[in-house]
Each structure stands twice: as structure tokens, then as C-alpha cells.
Chains A and B, each alone.
Chain A
Amino acid sequence: MKRFTRREALIVAAAGAALAACGGNGGGNANGEISGDQVTLRFTWWGSDARHKRTQQVIDAFTKAHPNITIKGEFKDWNGYWDALATTVAANDAPDIIQMDELYLASYAERGALLDLKTADKHLTTTDFDAKALATGAIDGKQYAIPTGLAAYSFVVNTDLLDKYKVTVPDDATWSWDDLKTVADQVSKASGGKVTGTQSLGFDIGGVNIWARQHGAALYSPEGKVVIPPDLLASFWQYQVDLAKGGMAPQASVSVERAGAPLDQSGTATNASAFGSWWNSQLTSLAAASGQKLKLLKLPGEAQASSAGGYYKPSMFWSISSRSKQPAEAALFVDFLANSQEAADIMLTDRGVPANTKIRSALVPKLTDTDKAAAEYLDTIKVGESPRVTPNGASDVEQILKRHTEDVLFARKTPQDAATSFVKELQAAIDAA
């Protein structure tokens, strides 16, 4: 092997140089004039076939008004999307317009992959956005992303099931987490175990956020440290253990299976659970799958909580690659996505209830009943400040959470041990980034 060292060294140097070159900055002027020449932009998003269709219609509407701009839509599934995005960003070949998620926003923005949209304010206005909503896409004073829509954590109840088992719908203005246990227990008993009262929580970060916020705590500090007290986290998991043990939620393996399955196979969608925690925007999908009457309830515990648990979560964002060669045209297109009634009328609530307040009020009357209920839910709940954006390095937080919830449900870790381990692992991931 010794003979090879020099040649290897050469190859290595070349490879290193190629990678280093890709860190370079190739962006154009985001506030420049819109080109009159033919311009091609790449626009990427994840989703299902329904979203692909709507988005293509929006693209068509835009290019009709701007015939010199061609937009190539690149649609992917969620997992493939992030693999492809990471690879193209690494190779300095990222699409111009990028649909972004809250989990990954800081990881891309703080490493310089995204454009500060304030530098494009000539083409992209944000005046119709609620300041709180807009803040969810800002890091260190730079607006890296604009929320497409808002969502809020909620409980979904199947009122048909409650009628069937003669259980009254709890008053969601006052109900507590104990009330949820009681009513879930009634359903489980009345159905003889065929239907469980509620789905288990603990498989998405929303539940943890709510639990922390209702106790005046938060998962992250504003500086991005993990600050949730382990005892508090342990009490959250203890609650899940109690639900499963008491038969109010399904046994561990079933909860895990349903949480890992797509929405259509969840307990709520298959009418196997009467209550479940969901983002309000998922109501329409759930109702379509379930075929029964579903209703959004305010979160349990809000009436008793020291501070509001509820908050607006950006359902997803629009962002622009910092290395886009055509940032001005890209900004113009994002402006169309974010501020145009025409675009909103096509997309409806596919990317959440629009965060643009003007658009939202014009849109609500056009919505279906379940979408309308989801939109109205946003206005009826009490919300506090939105939590800090997921810190750089913590994009894996939901998987870390899931694993620990599984460990707890299968009694491989006590809630206390799991809480300590969760905080340690998450903090380590943030520190390493």
C-alpha cells in the first residue's frame, strides 16, 4: 500500500478542494432588477400527490403572469426530500426556492445555506403577516424563512364514538389532564376494549412543548440550550405510562405501531381511539379517513395551567437558497406564494391555515367545514409566545423523543432515567453542531 500514498494524497487533495469549493458563495443580488430574459428557477417541496397537483397549478398561475420565468417544480416524499436537499446543498447545486420545516430551519440557516429574505424586501413583502408568526422564521434578526401557514396543537374527539358509548363530550374550556383520563377510561370500559379512550402522546414534539409550557417551562432556552426540567419531562412520560397501564390508551406496542404509521392508520383515522392529540390542520385528513364526526377540542389542562400551553407553530416555511443565481426572481415567486390571493385560493389550507392574516380572512369563507373549523380553532385558543425555533443540531429531536417514549412505554427506562437521558442526548447533539 505504501506505493500508493503519493497518488492517494493527490486524489485526496483534489476531493478536498472540490468539497471546499462547494462552500463558496455564488448568490446574486436579491434586490436587483427582475430580469427580462428567460430565467429558470428550481422550486422543491415535499408532500403527497394532492399537494403536487395544487402546487403545479400555482406555478402555472405565476408563470402565466411572468412568461419569461420558468419554474421547475421538484416534488419529493418527506424522507427523500431531506436526503436530496442535503446532497444538493453540499454540492452547491441547491434549488432556488426551498420549502423548509421548523426542525431543519436553523440547521440550514445558521450554516449559511439560506438567504436573509430582508435583503429581498423590494420584491418580497411581509407586511400582512402577524409579527409573532413572522418571528418563527427569524434567527438572530435575520428573516430566513416565511411561514406558509400556522398550526396549533389540539385534541381531536370522535363524537360519533362518544355517542355510541354514551359518554358525554367534556367541556374543553375547563377540562384537565385528569378529566382526559376519566373520560378515556369510560370509553375504553364501555367499548369492552374494542376502542381505547385516547391515543398515547409523546411521539411528536408538540405534546412535550405543551406539557412544559403549561408548567411555565420550555424545551429550549432562547439561547438554544435544553432547559426542560427532567422531573417535568418525567411526569409527562409517567402520564403516558398511566394511560397505557390503565387501558385508557392502547398497549405499548400498538401505540408505537400507530404512531409510526401514516395518518390514515392512526387510532383516530381508523376509529379505534376516541381522543387523540393532533395539529389542528390535520382535522380534514383525519375526518376523510375516519368517515365519522370529528371535532377539535382545546388542550386539556389549559384552564388549570400557570401559563398558556398553546402556541402557533408554523406548518412549514418558504425559503430561498443563499447561493441562488436568481434571488430576485426567486423572491418575486415567494412573494406570489405568500401574498397572492390567487395562489392562496388554489392551495387553500394544504400548507396550513395561511399565516398571512389578510389572505386568511379572505380565504376562510371558501373553506370546507373541517378546514373552516381548523381555521377558526386558531382564533379561539389562547396562545403564548411561540417556542424558540429548533436549534441547529437538534433536527433529530423527534426521533430522540420517540425512542425515549418507546423506552418508557416498554419499561426499558423509568420516566426519570429517560428524562435525564433525553436532555443529555439532545444537548449533546446541539453542542456538536
Chain B
Amino acid sequence: MSSLGELQRLGSSTAGPPRKRDNRAAFFFLSPWFAGLVLITAGPVAASFVLGFTDYNLIQPPEFNGLENFQRMLHDERLHHALGVTFTYVFVSVPLQLAFALGLALLLDRGMRGLAFYRSVFYLPSLLGTSVAIAVLWRQIFGADGLFNQVLGWFGVQGQSWISDPGTALSTLIVLNVWTFGAPMVIFLAGLRQIPVMYYEAAAVDGASKARQFRSITLPLLSPIIFFNLVLQIIHAFQSFTQAFVVSGGTGGPSDSTMFYTLYLYQRGFHSFDMGYASALAWLLLVIIAIFTAINFWASKRWVFYDD
């Protein structure tokens, strides 16, 4: 379903010894995962797939309605709008957040003074990222009486409520996502740890500049981790729910301007008792995410460097 190129590489990764299948060992290592897949994941996933072809209001038993849910998607203007919002969010917030995370991870990695302090401080917002308090906190920053307007006030600019204007609300959520860059930053930091120092030492002896060291050592050796963060953050951003839910009070407002795909799906399922349609929407999302993931894996052949 995804990632053929990458998977081929996975499949042929044993470079050293003669090709030998480790099926028995693999079964042993994967047995917990198999058990989870069969016992816990498969049933509900299959059920949601079936429900996609039904009219199901959660209270009465589902009734098959064929492809009706999928036909409905074609004419559902709010769905198309939600797709637009979600794509904008994914394409703006993911690169921004990753750039921020990588930049700070690089700054913080070289044994500098106060490293632990900065790392903790920069991670702290991520601890709050999905808390119920975030709704109030974000209003304190981007609301009419928020910090942002106070700063604008110093320059004589009369602000508005940025979280409640349909033109700017999505941007404040993008800022919120960037603000919680702690998770990818920590993963980058852990990845940087794995790069042997001797490479840098050797490069320094050869007189390579910092920029060149970054290009020739850091980037290639960190590429599996950059790739990981990219894949997961894109999946994550497509599924983004909690922040929009909390900040907009569950509405996706104002004027649907923060109506993310999953939020729309949730509203259809739980507010409108239309779980059949919500399930169909979920499977469309899965297909969209799978396509993007496959493209990512395919493109990764060109830039991700594995030691194996």
C-alpha cells in the first residue's frame, strides 16, 4: 500500500552475509506485535471499514447503504473546505516546525553552556500542548487583550482578536504547532548523539568549514531521523485534532477556518450521530495519508542515507 521503493531497500538490506531468511527469529521478535494486530487492532479497523458502507447513528444497529457515504463526499462542500484547511496546515506547519526543531537541536547539541537548561525550557511548551489549559493560554496571547496585541500596541497598532478572525485563526494554530516543536527536537538531539565525533574531528583537521561539516557529515548521518520526523509529522499533521478542538471549543470556527479534517469527521460521528459517514471519511483520510507516506518513502531513496 505504501513505500515500495523504501520497502525494497528494507528487503534487501542485508549486504554482508549471504542471503538467509530469519523467519523463525522474526516471528519471535514480532510475536507481540502480531498478537496486538490480530487481537486488538484488526477487529476495530475492519469494523470501521465496514461501517464506512453503512448508515450508523451509534444508537440503532447499522444499515448497509452501499457507496452512498462516498458519493456524499463528492458534494460535501464543508468536507472540501476541511481538506483545504488541512492541506494548508500540513504544508505550512510541518516544514516550519521541523526547521525550528532541527535548528535548535543543532544549536543546542554542541556541548554549550546551559545546554540542559535550554533543552528543558524549549521542551516545556510541548508538555502543555494538548492540555485543556491551552485554550485559555492561547487566548492570552492571540486574543483581543492578549500579549500579541500589547506588543502591537507599543507600536501604535490597534489589534483584533487573532484567534477569532477567520483570516488569522489558522495561523495561530500553526504557531501553536511550531511552539510545541519539542518532540521532533528531542528526536533530532538523540539522532545527533549517534553521530560519531571523530567524523567532525577528522573534518576539522582537514580544515572543513562548519557549513561543510553540516552538509557532508550531519545531514547525511542524520537523514534517517529527519526522514522519520518528516513522515511522522506529516501523518500527525493530517490527523491534527486536539489543538484545533481545544482552541476553537470543538467548533473548528470561526467560520470553519480551523475545521481540520479529523475535527470534521469527529463532528459528523459524535455530534451528528453519523458514524457511518465518519468511518468512510476516516478511510479516505487513510488513503490520503498513505499516498503521502508512499511518496515520502519513494523520495527518501534520493536523500536518506542508511549505514546498512
Contact B253 A406 (CB under 8 A): yes
Known: A89-B58, A253-B164, A396-B267. A15 touches B47 (CB 8 A): yes
Main secondary structure of the interface of B (DSSP, over half): loop
Tell me the complex Cα distance, A256–B249, Å.
Answer: 12
Q: Is the CB of B255 within 8 A of A406?
A: yes
Asked whether B57 lies within 8 Å of A406 as measured between CB atoms, the reply is: no
> Across the interface, do A11 and B42 meet the contact criterion of CB distance under 8 Å?
yes
Do B255 and A253 have beta carbons less than 8 Å apart? no
Q: Kindly state the separation between the CA atoms of A113 and B165 in the bound complex, as whole angstroms.
A: 39
Task: List the A side residues contacting B25 at CB < 8 Å.
Answer: none
Closest Cβ of chain B: how far from A14's Cβ, in Å? 7
Q: Is the CB of A16 within 8 A of B62?
A: yes
* CB contact list, B163-191 vs A, under 8 A: 163-166
Binds B, one of A19-27, A122-130, A147-155, A343-351: A19-27
Q: Please name all residues of chain B whose beta carbon is closer than 8 Å to the beta carbon of A432 when the two chains form the complex.
A: 272, 274
Which chain A positions have C-beta within 8 A of B100?
none
Interface size on B, residues (CB 8 A): 42
Question: Is residue B139 within 8 Å, beta carbon to beta carbon, of the partner chain?
Answer: yes
Tell yes or no: B13 within 8 A of A by CB.
Answer: no
Residues on A with beta carbons closer than 8 Å to the beta carbon of B254? 253, 256, 260, 403, 406, 410
Contact of A393 among B62, B253, B272 (CB under 8 A): B272
B267 touches A15 (CB 8 A): no
Which A residues between 236 and 254 are near B, CB-CB below 8 angstroms?
A: 250-254
User: Is B293 interfacial (CB 8 A cutoff)?
Assistant: no
Q: Which residues of B contact A250 (CB under 8 A)?
A: 144
With a CB–CB cut-off of 8 A, which chain B residues contact A251?
160
The answer to whether B62 touches A260 (Cβ under 8 A) is no
- Give B203 Cβ to nearest chain A Cβ, in Å: 49
Majority SS at the chain A contact face: helix
CB atoms of B165 and A253 under 8 A apart? yes
Q: Mark B126-147, 1 if CB is under 8 A from A, else 0.
A: 0000001000100100011000
Q: Which residues of B contact A429 (CB under 8 A)?
A: 272
If A22-B61, A261-B139 touch, whether A256 touches B46 (CB-CB below 8 Å) is: no
Contact A410 B160 (CB under 8 A): no
Interface residues of B in 48-68 (CB under 8 A from A): 49-51, 56-62
Instruction: Tell me if B113 is interfacial: C-beta within 8 Å of chain A.
Output: no
Q: Could you say which of A42-50, A79-87, A160-168, A334-342 contacts chain B?
A: A79-87
Whether A111 is near chain B, meaning CB under 8 Å from some CB there, is yes
- Confirm or deny: B122 has a beta carbon within 8 angstroms of a beta carbon on chain A: no
Contact in complex: A83, B270 (CB < 8 Å):
yes
Please give me the residue from chain B that is nearest to A110 by CB atom.
B59
In the docked arrangement, what's the CA distance between A60 and B85, Å? 49
Report if A64 contacts B (CB, 8 A). Answer: no
Q: Is the CB of A265 closer than 8 A to any CB of chain B? A: yes
Q: When the two chains form their complex, are residues A12 and B49 in contact, meaning their CB atoms are under 8 A apart?
A: yes
Q: For B274, list chain A residues within 8 Å (CB).
A: 432
Check: A431 CB closer than 8 A to any chain B CB: no
Counting CB contacts under 8 A, is A112 at the interface? yes
In the bound complex, do residue B271 and residue A14 qualify as a contact, i.e. CB atoms below 8 Å apart?
no
Contact with A along B97-114 (1 / 0, CB 8 A): 000000000000000000
Does B60 lie within 8 Å of A254, measured CB to CB? no
Contact between chains at A256 and B253 (CB < 8 Å): yes
Inside 8 A of A121's CB, which chain B residues have their CB? none
Contact of B273 among A8, A107, A253 (CB under 8 A): A107
The answer to the question of B248 belonging to the interface, with a C-beta cut-off of 8 Å to chain A, is yes
Interchain CA distance A111-B254 in the complex, whole Å: 32
Binding site for A on B (CB under 8 A): 42-44, 46-47, 49-51, 56-62, 132, 136, 139, 143-144, 160-166, 248-251, 253-256, 267, 270-275
Measuring CB to CB, which residues of chain A are less than 8 angstroms from any residue of chain B? 8, 11-12, 14-16, 18-20, 22-23, 77, 79, 82-83, 86-87, 89-90, 107-108, 111-113, 250-254, 256-257, 260-261, 265, 393, 395-396, 399, 402-403, 406-407, 410, 412, 429, 432-433
7 cross-chain CB contacts under 8 A: A15-B43, A19-B62, A20-B62, A261-B139, A265-B139, A393-B272, A402-B253
